[in-house]
Structure formats: C-alpha cells, structure tokens
Amino acid sequence: MSQSHKEWKVGGFVAISLVLLVMLVLNFSKGLSLLRPSYVVRLKTTNVGGIKDKAAVLLAGVTVGNVSHVLLAPDSKSVVIVLHIYAKHDIPGDAHFNIEAQGFLGDQFVSIAPTQNALPPLPKDGSAERECRAPFNIQDAARDALGLIQRLDQAAQKIDIAAERVNKTVLSEQTLTNFAAIMANLRVVSEQARTVTERAIAVTDQAVALEKKAITTLDRVDVLFATNTAPIQAAVSNVLRFSEQLNKVGADLQDTVGSSRPAIQSAVRNLETASAQVTNLLAEVQSGRGLAGALFKDEALARNFKQLSADLPAISGQVTSAVSNINSLTLDVHGVMTNLNSFLGDGRLLVGDSRLLANNGALLMSNLNAHGLFYKPKPPKPTNSPSSAPLLSPRQKFNLN
C-alpha cells in the first residue's frame, strides 16, 4: 500500500469523524438541527434579564424551540426576542409567554403557558408577534426587600415608641388602679344587672299571671253578661226611667223657681234692706250715737260700765240669795197648789160622776118611756175616723195660697 493511499484513508476517517462530531454537538446542544424545519416568533418585553442565545423554549415543560437572538428596539425602551419554533408544534394564539429560570440561579428560558386555546394558532410565516412578561429580577427584589426592611425597621421603631408611651400612660400604676376599680364596678354592675334581670323575669311572670287572671275575669264577665242580660237590660231601662224622672223634677224645680221668683226677689230685697240697716247701725255706733255708740265713745260711761261689771259679782250673789228665797217660796206655793189641784180634781171627778149618773138616768127614763122595761139597746156603730188631709208639696201649697 502506497503512502498516498494511507493518507487518503486517514483524511477520510478524520473528515467522517469531524462530521459525526458536529452532528453530535448539534444534537446534544440547545440549538436547532439543520435538518429540522422551524418558524419565527417575535416577543416584545421591557427586560430580558440574563437570557442568552440558543436558550430553550418550553411549552408545558416540553422543548418546542430555542432563542435565535435578542435585538434592542429602535426606541431603546424595549427588547425583541426572536424565537425559532419547531414547525411541527402549533402555539395557541392566546398563550402567555414568560421568561423563567431553572431553579433559583439556573439558566433562563422562555416558557409558553397555554390558557383556553380559544384563538387559532400563531402563523408560521414569521409575522407572529406577542408580548412577553419580564423575568424575575433578584436585584430588584432585593432592593424592594431592602426598602421593605427599612420600612419595617421604621415601623418597629414607631411600635417601640408607642409601646413606651403605652407603658408610661396606659399601663401606669394609676391607670391600672383605675382599671381594677372599673373591673370591680363592672362586676357590681353585672351583679346588679343580673338581679334586675331576675326581678324583671319575676315581674314578667307576675304580668303573665295577671294576664291569665284578667282573661279569666273577662270570661266571667262575659258569662255574667250572657246569663244576666235581661236584668241588665231592666236595670238600664230603670236608669233611663229614673233619668227621665230627674228631668221632670228638674223641669218642675225650674217652674217652681220661676213661679217663686217674686218671693225670692222680695227676700233678696229684704236682705239688702237689712244689710243696709246693719251698715247704718254700725255707722251710728262708730260715730258715737245711741247707747252702743256712747258705750264705745264715752269714756265716763265706759268707766261706769266697767264699775258696774266689777259690782256684778256682788249683785249676782245678792240676786242668787233672793232667787233661792224665791225658789223656797215657790216650792211652798207649789205644794199648796198641788193640794189645791188635788182637791179640785176630786171635785171635778165628783161633778163628772154626777153628770154621768144624771145622763144615764135620763137615758134610762127615756128608753123606759119609749120601749118598755125589757128593751136592750143596740151597741153604737163605730164612727169613721176623719180622713187625714193629703200632704202637699211646697209648690202646691204656694199655688193654693
């Protein structure tokens, strides 16, 4: 075998090895194979984070493509991510695109999250454009956490100040003493409220009992009215009749007053005259005229009257002695008159008996002369007593006069 033939064999083996190595690298890398068709999808986002070219594109955890490259938008405010999606995979039109990371510090990739699949799949002619949510930035999160920690520190300081104020004001000895007194008063009030509640329950029970008694009483009243309807109606009719009689009596009284008005007016005039006379008499007494006036106005007469009043006890004693003498004399005269009356009474009885005897003798003689010796007179018939005069009312007496 010639030297050139060996070189050709070695060169062919190296070329085949290189081709196989390239194929293995392409197969095991995150890039697309030269033999697998794909289509382009563009994503717009504000920040791509740490995503790199050839990063995987996952749909529900399955690799459906990779990131071709990343472009800065002309306005320098957004970024365009160019994706190569395998042609055999259809991306739903309402799917969400997110930039996520494998683990906490792993490589970033584009995640496609399907929703309801209500829209048709994205076109495969390279015109598809969608919005992508910016990835989670740990530095921004750290800054936000730092600001949150600072705010928490300030809040903790304020809480410490508030706790110190509460300890100085609310939890002071005076406040705790007042609180203990309040709790004691609250206990007393609760006991009083329980007592009041028990009394209210007792009053309620009494009210229920009274209600039952009232219902029973009403039932009895209904029964009373039902069983005594006729007497009640009679009583009502009697009351009405009595009211009519009262009306008649009132009318009669009014007529009496009307008919007696002249007499009443005359009596009133007499009273006015008597009042005027009494007034004149008092005026004369006040002016000193007459005996009473002189007694009130004349000092000498007043002194004499006082002297007379002072002498009245002695005069009264003498009068009493004279009266006693007169009484004894009267008793003697009364005895004499009693004896005289007794004698005169006996004389009157004797005269009466004599008259009765004479009358009987005359009657006997007249009967003998008229009827004979054996006549027996009939007993006299009882005479009717005179009828008493009817009682008249004052109005009837006035009308008769």
C-beta separation of 121 from 67 below 8 A = no
User: Model confidence over 308-336: pLDDT tens digits?
Assistant: 777 777 777 777 777 777 777 677 666 66
Per-residue pLDDT, 201: 92
C-beta separation of 91 from 121 below 8 A = yes
| Spatial separation of the C-alpha atoms in residues 314 and 310, rounded to whole Å | 8
User: Model confidence over 113-133: pLDDT tens digits?
Assistant: 888 887 888 888 878 888 888
pLDDT at position 178 over 50: yes
Over residues 220-237, the mean pLDDT reads 81
Count CB atoms within 10 A of the CB of residue 293: 17
Query: Alpha-carbon Rg of the chain, whole angstroms?
Result: 75
Six-digit token string for 81: 């991510």
Which range has highest mean pLDDT (36-45, 82-91, 152-161)? Answer: 152-161
Over residues 135-150, the mean pLDDT reads 75
pLDDT at position 1 over 60: no
Per-residue pLDDT, 32: 47
Q: Domain ranges for the chain, please list them.
A: 1-30, 38-136, 275-314
- What is the chain's mean pLDDT, rounded? 76
CA distances, 9 to each of 1, 30, 178 (Å): 11, 33, 108
Per-residue pLDDT, 259: 79
In this structure, of 4-18, 294-308, 313-327, the range with the lowest mean pLDDT score is: 294-308
Per-residue pLDDT, 240: 85
User: Model confidence over 67-94: pLDDT tens digits?
Assistant: 888 888 787 788 888 888 888 888 888 8
